[in-house]
Amino acid sequence: MPPTLCSSLAMPVLDGRVVLESTLSCPHCGTTKLETMPTDACQFFYDCTGCSAVLRPNPGDCCVFCSFGTVPCPPIQASGSSRPCCGSESA
């Protein structure tokens, strides 16, 4: 199987098992904001509504929701593990 990209995943997001809302916590100012996660892509950047800092995922995480959210992103939930969902195995 080729590396699976988030944008190519057809996820059963409406079966009630995948949570699409995650509360992001800004590591800079502590602002929390409930955001709805996109299901067809990973959100790599997030502009903090509190301090305008641009959040980026921590090393090893695929998106800001995995790093700063209360719920991992839909692809991660769908895979049922913490595997990277964007083919970001890096090296």
Q: Identify which of 55, 65, 56 has the alpha carbon closest to the alpha carbon of residue 85.
A: 65
Q: Are 88 and 62 in contact, with CB atoms under 8 Å apart?
A: yes
Closer CB to Zn ion, residue 43 or residue 77? 43
Name which of 60, 63, 71 is nearest 32 in CA terms.
Answer: 71
| Least Å from the CB of residue 33 to Zn ion | 9
Nearer to Zn ion, 64 or 78 (CB): 64
Rounded least distance, CB 53 to Zn ion, Å: 5
Minimum CB–partner distance for residue 67 and Zn ion (Å): 13
Closer residue to Zn ion, CB minimum distance, 34 or 51: 51
Compute CA distances 61 → 14, 19, 28, 36, 50, whole Å: 24, 18, 18, 18, 23
Which residues sit at the interface with Zn ion, rule CB under 5 A?
26, 28-29, 31, 48, 50-51, 53
